[in-house]
Structure 1
């Protein structure tokens, strides 16, 4: 076994939004982490375009929501517009629900912003060390009793190799994950769906867009997206056959529409493959996959990055519990149990998004070829409402695992249930569901009361013991205003035990018989897979 040059509780591989969010979450939980990224700096490409309402709830807990919103587009850009060319009028439009206006189900609003605008804010959110230009080239797991894994890193600047010993490795190194490949973890799903090119350019397109803002403009000849409030554009289109000799400025001009006098100043061009896969396993011993390493989601609908952010929100409190000693290692198994069904459901929806988007574009190109116009030919878009009103998928995911105590007498649910549908979200306090947003006080939500610990929400704190000793588990008892008890399916002395990730771990509709300390100890030890009550 190679000798390590450094030791750290958690090694994060990958410096994109998912890895950077994990770094901030672990620091909040008092866990030292080292993040390594093979590239020398943060990516200058815009890539992901949407921070949805659930991700913004997580960033609100981290104190980042205001910073992210300040650098993002105004809410009216939370809309998709469909046009024959950017110069033409809309033939259809759809709002991004939870983005273009507040929704009553959340204390926050999602935003349209580019990934290269988001990542610096995430990098500044924690003090944990970062090593850019350091590529993981090997992993060697120690014997179980040694409680560690050694990662071999190659420094691209110096050419030297170093070894880092970690208790756990969190792999967030992208769709072509080196870690996943080294461990031999297979994938399921359609795989590579198509090759695309992103062209980043400068041009004054305000005459067609200023009065009708949108985060995305779909046309039969590609997708246009404004990049930053102060300017800049991207054009996404299938990669042409002779990409090496393409006239990108000319292609953008033709996509803008005939007769345009606008000349695009091309700044960057990136070719990429739209992948659609889910890893067969999210955990391999002391290595855990997250983000695109665990599931590569097509970009249509803006689900990929946000699903990865939810991954690490689920995982990091569990890692902290194991490392701090108040959770058993079996708790980490519930990460895959809970998040893999969400990944499969999200993948199915995103693949459907993509096929339907391509179908609409292809159908419209054919109509234009045969002389049709938007005013003379009806354009059917049955998918706009279904695939851009996603609160059911975003807020409705419900977990079924050993880290959730089902209500007494509740029938077991079939495998694969517990993940919300695309459009419909019905708030629920049933164990496994995200705790609904309710105002506890002015500007303070139930979601603000969770995150740093387990939280017991109850209309009657005295009956549960305001000073209940629950060591070693971190727990806070939070008064729930009596007017919310009914909507939470609680009696006047009932309670909800909410996990640090905001999902309900247990529910007592009324106070159970016996000592409250014993009841809570049993619930916490069962959920965390450790302790005397397990």
Structure 2
């Protein structure tokens, strides 16, 4: 294995912060951990005084768990999450009725061969402390960004960004100058508003309320566990493995003076005579949009600031985690000097289409889920005894969504289509929209397929804060790799995987730090500088 030492990222002026992260939710916290691993100095500011106490996002899908596996966090997150048997949705008339339909959360309810990890059902307030502890970079709670100025130039020509911050505890205002600002400050993003970036999509879908409460519901749920119970009176979800519940429902009139214990009891249905102890209440707006652009000069949007998804399918937070996984290695390359600033243009080129497709899928999921209840109402209104089952309006393959999670295809200057790595200038293939069906492929632009290198080590475990060259013939590539001034490692790909990856006995895959394939040589190139030229093309630079 060839291992090139990483730059320390410490060449920046002490008064110039490399990256300011705005927003301390899961996406911002993950970006902080990723950038620290790259040796990039950051400051994260969060306007709230503490991490959110609400469960909020409920699902960490299989692709996000792959990202957390790379950070060494997956096992800890899984240990604090629900058991896999909770990886399903149950449909009921009321919580204490029997199921009339059930849908599995594929990749959560059981392992899938397409990944070395399993997704989990867990609450955001259980996830965030783990992410906070994954890095030592400074974080300021109770600190709100109120103004931005890209100085010494406009737009793409600005040399830095000056952010004005207010500390809500002291009232003091400070100014921070940063080379880049990463906005992960939610659907109501202050940064997006200050930049005047518009959004496209359905917009606000309605006002909703989350009520976190304690009640003994085991008699109806313990033997039929689920991550979500979809009823005619709202959604019910267990909050933690050790106890606690959440009720999600449209915000009622007179919410300010509502009797929340009574409302929850009524939603549980007649006959559910159990005491309800309300712990906290949160009102929120369900949004559905994608920002018109994800970059404004040195300011970049990610997570809900870039796209807000309906909660159905758990696609919102997870899409944001893939945003920063795509972006952080590019920021590190630019800041550490082995990538041209133009590499950052590929962030929007790659992630904006993904956000648009994911929004379409999330809206479709919401419509399909509502059709289940619509069919049930029709059955009940028809009179007589209601059937025990409702036929679900989707196939098992459709709602699995692995294609949307693992089959994402990138097309940008940071990906060389087949043939381009050998100097073939013929047009590459257009990205395929695999929908919800995942098809294993090692074509450039796709996520590197999960293949076992050893009994417990996946191809995904070979990836990290470096480019990876996977080849069945490492000796033939060692010389080129050793001479490359980019962070790069050579990894042996077992011969039985060569055909699956479309490689001959001397071919190779160049995999980016975010796990997507940058280039493929079906056989060893004639030129000894081929690898160097491809890395220069992908990063837009020629270090050294």
Return the TM-score normalized by structure 1. Answer: 0.95
The 5-angstrom pairing of residues 187-202 of structure 1 reads: 187-202=199-214
The 5-angstrom pairing of residues 246-257 of structure 1 reads: 246-257=258-269
Mapped pair 1:500 → 2:509: no
For residues 392 and 146 of structure 1, what CA distance do their matches in structure 2 show? Answer: 39
| 8 Å CA contact retained: 1:5, 1:162 | no
Aligned to 1:444: 457
Aligned to 2:325: 313
For residues 195 and 429 of structure 2, what CA distance do their matches in structure 1 show? Answer: 32
For residues 363 and 154 of structure 1, what CA distance do their matches in structure 2 show? Answer: 51
Cα offset, 1:6, TM superposition: 5.0
The worse-fitting range, judged by mean Cα deviation, of 383-392 and 200-209 is: 383-392
For residues 490 and 479 of structure 2, what CA distance do their matches in structure 1 show? Answer: 6
Aligned to 2:355, which of 328, 340, 343?
343
List gaps (5 residues or longer) in structure 1: none
Mapped pair 1:181 → 2:193: yes
Cα offset, 1:260, TM superposition: 1.5
For residues 464 and 495 of structure 1, what CA distance do their matches in structure 2 show? Answer: 9
For residues 61 and 124 of structure 2, what CA distance do their matches in structure 1 show? Answer: 13
| 8 Å CA contact retained: 1:216, 1:226 | yes
Aligned to 1:96: 105
The worse-fitting range, judged by mean Cα deviation, of 146-155 and 320-329 is: 146-155
| 8 Å CA contact retained: 1:495, 1:510 | yes
List gaps (5 residues or longer) in structure 2: 1-12
Three-state SS of the structure 2 residue aligned to 1:444 is: coil
For residues 28 and 483 of structure 2, what CA distance do their matches in structure 1 show? Answer: 32
For residues 251 and 281 of structure 1, what CA distance do their matches in structure 2 show? Answer: 41
| 8 Å CA contact retained: 2:315, 2:362 | yes
Aligned to 1:420: 434
The 5-angstrom pairing of residues 20-419 of structure 1 reads: 20-144=29-153, 147-365=159-377, 367-368=379-380, 371=383, 373-375=385-387, 379-383=390-394, 385=396, 388-408=399-419, 411-414=427-430, 417-419=431-433
Cα offset, 1:482, TM superposition: 0.8
Cα offset, 1:85, TM superposition: 1.1
Cα offset, 1:358, TM superposition: 2.7
| 8 Å CA contact retained: 1:353, 1:387 | no
For residues 212 and 139 of structure 1, what CA distance do their matches in structure 2 show? Answer: 51
Mapped pair 1:19 → 2:28: yes
RMSD of aligned Cα (Å): 1.8
For residues 253 and 395 of structure 2, what CA distance do their matches in structure 1 show? Answer: 30
Cα offset, 1:411, TM superposition: 4.3
Cα offset, 1:473, TM superposition: 0.7
The worse-fitting range, judged by mean Cα deviation, of 89-98 and 170-179 is: 89-98
Three-state SS of the structure 2 residue aligned to 1:317 is: helix
Aligned to 2:523, which of 486, 504, 510?
510
For residues 125 and 237 of structure 2, what CA distance do their matches in structure 1 show? Answer: 14
What number of residue pairs does the alignment pair up?
524
In the TM superposition, what whole-angstrom CA distance separates every residue of 1:9-56 from its partner, at most 9, and x where no partner exists? 000000000000000000001100000000000000000000000000
Cα offset, 1:443, TM superposition: 0.9
In the TM superposition, what whole-angstrom CA distance separates every residue of 1:484-503 from its partner, at most 9, and x where no partner exists? 11111100000000000000
Mapped pair 1:435 → 2:448: yes
Return the TM-score normalized by structure 2. Answer: 0.93
For residues 512 and 372 of structure 1, what CA distance do their matches in structure 2 show? Answer: 73
Three-state SS of the structure 1 residue aligned to 2:176 is: strand
In the TM superposition, what whole-angstrom CA distance separates every residue of 1:223-249 from its partner, at most 9, and x where no partner exists? 110000000000111111222232221
| 8 Å CA contact retained: 1:5, 1:163 | no
In the TM superposition, what whole-angstrom CA distance separates every residue of 1:357-412 from its partner, at most 9, and x where no partner exists? 23333443454456465426x52321363553010000000101110000116644
474 and 421 in structure 1: CA distance in 2 versus 1, 3 angstrom threshold: same
The worse-fitting range, judged by mean Cα deviation, of 440-449 and 305-314 is: 440-449
Cα offset, 1:468, TM superposition: 3.0
Aligned to 1:520, which of 485, 507, 531?
531
Cα offset, 1:467, TM superposition: 6.9
370 and 247 in structure 1: CA distance in 2 versus 1, 3 angstrom threshold: farther
| 8 Å CA contact retained: 1:291, 1:305 | yes
In the TM superposition, what whole-angstrom CA distance separates every residue of 1:437-479 from its partner, at most 9, and x where no partner exists? 0111121110000121000000001111257334431000111
